[in-house]
């Protein structure tokens, strides 16, 4: 008997991207970070920035114009409210337009963010400002980090399958608010985070029925709690501080193959049946490990590497940026596996199938719809 799970599926029918202004990695290095690091730390930081796999990033708070590294957390959180609301609204408006729906049609609104806190939160303020119905249910997913979009998508899909109403997922991250104070002490983890992270907002509409788009077949996860200290995001008096162990790729190598092959087996698939991979680019080493452990050809992760190159690591929106790149390609893949990783250490995977009708092709890519450059 097949191990396939027959479950209800929603369909991703709309996706919207909003980006703050961008700058090249070399401009950020020369104009800010070369002075931010000193002594022997500077030479190490320069190598890490050069080998990050990032050419361009986006930031709501431009370090070339405004140094927030000594700001207290309270001031950073106030700025989060100012910047995140219009960015999230822009992404949501684009996703709803792409889906051909109105804000009042949404039955569940899920918001993911680990870079800022406000009460009332983005879920309440955006629901109010965009005219969502009073009975729209809301869910806020916080501090899951880079993989948050996938359980968020799972919650949206479960709601659609159970209630038969559309759901909306928004991932909005402003990592630029959390540059840490300069220090003479060598702190490789902080250098890596400063070299990789970026800002973005991406919204996704999941709807019932057989509309064109990507059907959500299953969301699954595995967590290795024995390595919980390998990835942390600590609240400090000067913003949120990243902890990122160099052993993270080794832990992923232990689990990623089993997670993916089990997911595919439940749907009578093999790795060779997957023609689209949206793998979160936590950094170049992460992508190399996934490629090796799954036995993928180099071109399989081209969309992930291109997203890292053009946008950096935007935390929770990143996997959705990769999905948008895939769905807007000349030949959208028919079967997509999304993979993302974060604190726990946790690995999440999603299986998507292209449903009836053609996915959107052509049109602007995410980098073409931002709000300008620095």
Task: Just list the catalytic residues.
Answer: 146
Q: SS in 3 state form for 32-84?
A: HHHHHCCHHHHHHHHHHHHCCCCCEEECCCCCCCCCCCCCCHHHHHHHHHHHH
Q: What are phi and psi of 332, to 5 degrees?
A: -60, 135
Here the tokens at position 253 are 């190598």
Give me the helices (H) in the chain, please: 25-28, 34-36, 39-50, 73-99, 122-130, 149-163, 188-196, 248-265, 284-294, 302-311, 318-327
What are the distances in angstroms from CA 292 to CA 191, 295, 299, 300, 351? 26, 5, 13, 11, 20
Query: Tokens at residue 319, please?
Result: 């996997």
Instruction: State how far the Cα of 261 lies from the Cα of 370, in Å rounded to an integer.
Output: 37
Q: In whole angstroms, what is the distance from residue 340 CA to residue 313 CA?
A: 12
Closest by alpha carbon to 314, among 280, 290, 364? 280
């Amino acid at each position: 008997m097949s191990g396939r799970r027959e479950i209800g599926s929603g369909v991703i029918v709309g996706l919207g991207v909003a980006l703050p202004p961008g700058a090249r990695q070399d401009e950020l290095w020369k104009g800010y970070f070369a002075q931010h690091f000193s002594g022997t730390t500077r030479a190490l930081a320069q190598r890490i920035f050069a080998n990050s796999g990032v050419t361009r990033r986006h930031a709501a708070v431009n370090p070339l114009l405004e140094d927030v590294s000594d700001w207290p957390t309270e001031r950073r959180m106030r700025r989060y409210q100012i910047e995140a609301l219009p960015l999230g609204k822009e992404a949501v408006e684009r996703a709803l337009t792409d889906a051909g729906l109105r804000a009042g049609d949404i039955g569940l609104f899920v918001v993911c963010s680990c870079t800022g806190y406000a009460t009332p939160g983005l879920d309440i303020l955006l629901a109010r400002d965009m005219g969502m119905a009073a009975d729209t249910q809301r869910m806020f997913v916080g501090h899951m980090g880079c993989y948050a979009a996938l359980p968020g998508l799972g919650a949206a899909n479960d709601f659609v399958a159970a209630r038969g109403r559309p759901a909306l997922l928004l991932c909005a991250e402003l990592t630029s608010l959390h540059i840490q104070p300069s220090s003479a002490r060598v702190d490789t983890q902080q250098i890596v985070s400063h070299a990789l992270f970026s800002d973005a907002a991406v919204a996704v509409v999941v709807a019932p029925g057989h509309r064109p788009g990507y059907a959500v077949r299953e969301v699954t996860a595995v967590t290795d709690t024995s390595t919980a200290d390998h990835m942390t995001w600590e609240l400090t008096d000067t913003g949120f501080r990243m902890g990122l162990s160099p052993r993270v790729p080794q832990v992923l190598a232990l689990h990623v193959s089993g997670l993916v092959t089990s997911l595919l087996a439940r749907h009578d698939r093999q790795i060779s049946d997957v023609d689209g991979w949206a793998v979160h680019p936590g950094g170049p080493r992460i992508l190399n490990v996934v490629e090796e452990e799954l036995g993928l050809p180099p071109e399989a992760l081209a969309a992930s590497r291109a997203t890292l190159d053009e946008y950096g690591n935007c935390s929770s929106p990143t996997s959705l940026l990769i999905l948008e790149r895939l769905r807007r390609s000349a030949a959208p893949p028919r079967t997509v596996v999304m993979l993302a990783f974060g604190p726990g250490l946790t690995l999440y995977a999603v299986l998507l199938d292209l449903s009836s009708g053609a996915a959107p092709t052509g049109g602007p890519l995410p980098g073409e719809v931002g709000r300008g450059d620095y």
